[in-house]
Amino acid sequence: MTEHILLTLALVSFFGILSQWLSWYIKQPSIIFLLLFGIVIGPVAGLFDPDAVLGELLFPFVSMGVAIILFEGGLTLRFHEIKGLTRPLYMLLTVGLVVTWAIVALATHLLVGLSWEISILFGALMTVTGPTVIKPLLRTVRPYADLANILHWEGVILDVAVAILIVLVYKTITLQHSGTMIPLSLAYIVATGMISGTIGALLLAFLLRRYLLPHFLHHVFTLTLVLMIFTLSNAIAHESGLLAVTLMGMMLANMKNVDIEEILFFKESLSLLLISVLFIILSARLDLSALIDIGWSALGLLGIILFIARPLSVMVSTLFSDLTLRARIFLSWIAPRGIIAAAVSALFAIRLEEFGYVEAKLLVPLTFMVIIGTILLQGLSAKPLAKRLNLQEAEPSGMLILGANRVSREIARSLKEQGVAVKLADTDWENISHARMEGFDTYYGRVISDHADRNMELAGIGGLLAISPHATLNALASVRFKSEFGTENIYYLQNAEGRKLEKSKASHSTIVGRQLFTEDVTFTKLSSLLHGEGEIKTTTLSEKFDIEAYKKAHESKVIPLYLIDTDGKLHFFTTDHELKPKEGWKITSLIYKHKEKQ
């Protein structure tokens, strides 16, 4: 029996990670594959019954998973990163939320016949969109930056804020039969959650700032502290734990002089596994027969959510804004739901059934119906709709540059002067600081992280320049962006580390893309020249002053970097293809006066 349980849990974990890999490979939201695997091994094939396997551990496991996911969500909500809380975004987060909530709650009560309490809770659940679904969708569709910004931050902020709202709605329902004063009880829960979350954040910040925690304990101590705050807060005021850990994450994310990057990276990996396993467990618990019994009423509810609630919410929120009608139509159609709606609905459905709300068991199948419907219908139609409405950006020609070192910044500066959009990414804060002071758009963190997938804006970016001094990181990044940019638009700069790994046959076979410049041009060589008398310059070629005359004029002390043709298209010099520049093309090269140091 024990071996069977272990095998089942191992297979669930395997299917969860397989779903994430399929998501990366096929470029579709992972939630699609997680749902598919969960439903197949659960209600369809009957191979996995979460209630039988986990027993009394089911509710604590789901609670713990939701707590960690919400804490990690709070960590990503950095207020200074919000690119302008525009009026349409502010209205969507307030007025739009209320409109969606009211319409869905009313429709649920009238169509499905659920009580007002459960209908109001379901309406609150449907106000949250999924940032883990929105982000890959935006990368595929490539709408204009202002629309992408609204949709991205709507998802991120509501993911955190609505989770708190749902907790309060749930407690209001359960407190009705307790004989206590609901306002005072809610105030007590909020106060307990805020105090607990504040204590947790201040304690962790104090330990990190004073270096009282060794580096190897940062991750596990944070995880332990989150679970302790969650548990203790719940012990003081029931269901205040989710509020506590969410606020704890938000406070840590917005504190000064608190380095949470490593903690965030660890939390991303943990949350990824938790989301994968949790979503399969929840979808495996789906009662498909209950959804079938509801029948056409369920589809009618989905139709109201898609075609009435969201459009009306957007139209009211964007009234008197400068958004065009085409932009408002596009925003009206994009609102996929994700893991928070699924996890929280399952969590509270279990508890509400214990309180005697038998109809609460319909919360989960209805929520999953909306998740499946919004992801499939909106996900498949978003790109054609954006194209039809003429809201797609032009084919991206900008470059994501891995590394914000001196070599990267000099190449980025020359590209920027030629009108090419650039974004520099690095894990070295000093390099990022220099890049920001020089006016570059930057991303501080690992480009291969889950945080980057959710938060790194790539609007207008169509290629990768992997020119960090670390060959392994260059290789990982090239593989990560292969499906996004295409192999032909990924370029890497050779370095000494890469040559050693290549000789040992440990790295070159895994790196994807095209080697920049020539075989003898390495990162070390460019760095040496730029720290000496080397300088990057751009020249326009003519019929008389062609590429040969250009090289001769500089006595071959020149390293050609890239060309801009007469149509403004960018061409990098690479080892796999010889470029033949024509009259009127611009050539950018590193020019040096003396023989470089080897």
- Top pLDDT among 369 and 505 is at 369
pLDDT at 303: 94
pLDDT average, residue stretch 571-578: 87
Residue 364: pLDDT over 90: no
pLDDT band at residue 507 using 50, 70 and 90 as cut-offs: very low
Question: What pLDDT shows up at residue 149?
Answer: 82
121 has pLDDT over 70: yes
Alpha carbon distance 535, 590 (integer Å): 5
**pLDDT for residue 176 is more than 80:** no
At 157 the pLDDT is 84
The mean pLDDT value of the chain amounts to: 83
Mean per-residue pLDDT, 68-74: 82
Dist. CA 128–CA 138, nearest whole Å: 17
**CA atoms within 13 A of residue 564's CA, in its CB half-sphere:** 17
What's the pLDDT tens digit per position in 405-435? 999 999 999 999 988 889 999 988 899 999 9
Q: What is the mean pLDDT of residues 567-572?
A: 87
Asked whether 112 and 301 are in contact (CB, 8 A), the reply is: yes
Res. 500: pLDDT tops 60: no
Q: 37-51, 71-85, 282-296, 469-483: lowest mean pLDDT where?
A: 71-85
Name the band, by pLDDT with cuts 50, 70 and 90, for residue 307.
very high
User: What architecture (CATH level 2) is domain 2-388?
Assistant: Up-down Bundle (1.20)
Task: Answer yes or no: are the C-beta atoms of 318 and 310 closer than 8 Å.
Answer: no
Q: What is the mean pLDDT of residues 235-256?
A: 88
pLDDT single digits (tens) 98-115: 999 999 999 999 999 899
Is the Cβ–Cβ distance between 412 and 450 less than 8 Å?
no
Locate tokens 């939201």: which residue? 29
Tens of pLDDT along 141-159? 878 878 888 888 888 888 8
Under DSSP, the state recorded for 66 is: H
What's the average model confidence in pLDDT over 68-72? 83
Average pLDDT over residues 375-387: 87
Q: How far is the C-alpha of 545 from the C-alpha of 553, rounded, in Å?
A: 9
Per-residue pLDDT at 590 exceeds 50: yes
- The pLDDT assigned to 265 comes to 62
Per-residue pLDDT at 163 exceeds 90: no
Q: What is the pLDDT of residue 595?
A: 52
Q: Which residue in 489, 577, 162 sits closest to 339, CA to CA? A: 162
Among 113-122, 191-200, 253-262, where is mean pLDDT lowest?
253-262
What per-residue confidence (pLDDT) applies to 83?
A: 60
Averaged over 129-139, what is the pLDDT? 77
Mean per-residue pLDDT for 543-563? 82
72 membership: H or E segment, kind and range = helix 58-75
Report the pLDDT value the prediction gives residue 506, as an integer from 0 to 100.
44
In this structure, of 309-313, 478-482, 553-557, the range with the lowest mean pLDDT score is: 553-557
Give the model confidence (pLDDT) of 385-399 as tens digits: 998 999 887 677 789
Q: Where are the domains of the chain?
A: 2-388, 444-591
| Ranges 276-290, 367-381, 418-432: which has the least confidence | 276-290
pLDDT digits (tens, 9 = 90+) for 331-349: 999 988 877 788 788 878 8
Cβ neighbours of 150 (radius 10 Å): 23
Confidence of residue 81 (pLDDT cuts 50, 70, 90): low
pLDDT of residue 267: 60
What is the torsion angle, in degrees rounded to the nearest 10, for the CA atoms of residue 79, residue 82, residue 87 and residue 93? -60
Structure tokens given for 429: 């804060």
Q: Percentage of residues in the chain with pLDDT exceeding 90?
A: 22
Task: Using the predicted structure, report yes or no on whether residue 501 has a pLDDT greater than 50.
Answer: no
| Residue 539: both structure tokens together | 């020249």
